Amino acid sequence: MSSRLGATCDEFYVTTRLFLKLDMALERETVLHFFDRVRKEFPDLSRFRRREDGSLILETDRGASSGRRWLRLDPASLRFGAYDPPDLEAMRRFAELILEQAPYHLTFNDLDFEHMDVIYGFDLDYHGNHDQLLAETLWRDHPLGALLFGQRAAHVLDAQPYLGIALSPECDLQAYVEIKSRTNTFEIRAREFEPQPISIYLTTRQYWGVGAQEPLVTVQNRLYDLADELAADFVVPNMVNPVAAAIAGQA
């Protein structure tokens, strides 16, 4: 894994989501001009498709080995990201181009902005009971372990932590961490588990409407800086690495 944050997981990815208060028209000429402007800087974005839900996606060909980028337009949001980016600086350059060009091409401004998310995702493949592994790794020595490992517990069905904090007194700047398991009760009863990833998400979020309004790129860079710091100081050492070690111990 070329990114230091993804060194102990099977796949690392970065996503940005900008949510709007009003729907975008997504007219043909507008979308094509915007996508073409981005493609001039990143010519590997060569695959254009429309999903069943109506969203429009410009993405790197799926045959790319690493650094797969994508850009998606929904009526009420602008989203983009990359899987296994070679480095986070490359991801920042990609983000800056999109956020500099989007208001011009798609005709929105700070009155329309609801909030922006930056998400760091860490996937760890595990062929087994995700929730049991998470319970034993994260909750064994926690007071909640008395429920998960008590005499009445035949199986652990859900051990997914979801935590959030405000990073500013006004609560307009926030951070969340979540671990997502994918084991269902049918698999537990049958004792047959599909190979699926355990996903660990770190989200930094900025809401608009409090204080002075800043350019999108400024907000984006602040969220990246916070995500870098929280990932390095907390998420990777306290969540990603212990789960990765527990999976390795099951092999």
Per-residue pLDDT tens digits for 163-180: 999 999 999 999 999 999
User: Which residues have CB under 8 Å from 195's CB, separation 6+?
Assistant: 125, 126, 127
Mean pLDDT computed over 204-227: 90
Mean pLDDT computed over 27-38: 94
pLDDT at 1 over 60: no
Show the tokens assigned to 97. Answer: 């181009």
Show the tokens assigned to 248. Answer: 């390795």
Per-residue burial over 32-57, b = 16 or more CB atoms within 10 Å of its CB, e = otherwise = eebbebbeeebeebeeeeeeeeeebb
Pick the residue with more confidence: 251 or 106?
106
Pick the residue with more confidence: 125 or 63?
125
pLDDT band at 64 (very low <50, low <70, confident <90, very high): low
The predicted pLDDT at position 238 comes to: 95
Percent of residues, the chain, with pLDDT higher than 90: 76
pLDDT at 212 over 80: no
User: Which residues have CB under 8 Å from 202's CB, separation 6+?
Assistant: 119, 120, 121, 175, 176, 177, 227, 230, 231, 235
Mean pLDDT computed over 115-134: 96
The predicted pLDDT at position 3 comes to: 56
pLDDT, tens digit (0-9, with 9 covering 90-100), for 65-122: 557 999 999 999 999 999 988 888 888 999 999 999 999 999 888 889 999 999 999 9
Show the tokens assigned to 147. Answer: 């429920």
The predicted pLDDT at position 71 comes to: 97
The predicted pLDDT at position 16 comes to: 97
Are 114 and 5 in contact by the 8 Å Cβ rule? The answer is no
Q: Tell me the pLDDT of the chain averaged across its residues.
A: 91
Pick the residue with more confidence: 5 or 152?
152
The predicted pLDDT at position 119 comes to: 98
**56-59 sheet: strands from edge to edge:** 47-50, 56-59, 68-74, 77-83, 11-20, 113-126, 196-207, 173-180, 162-166
pLDDT at 26 over 90: no
pLDDT band at 2 (very low <50, low <70, confident <90, very high): very low
198: amino acid identity, one letter: I
pTM of the complete model: 0.93
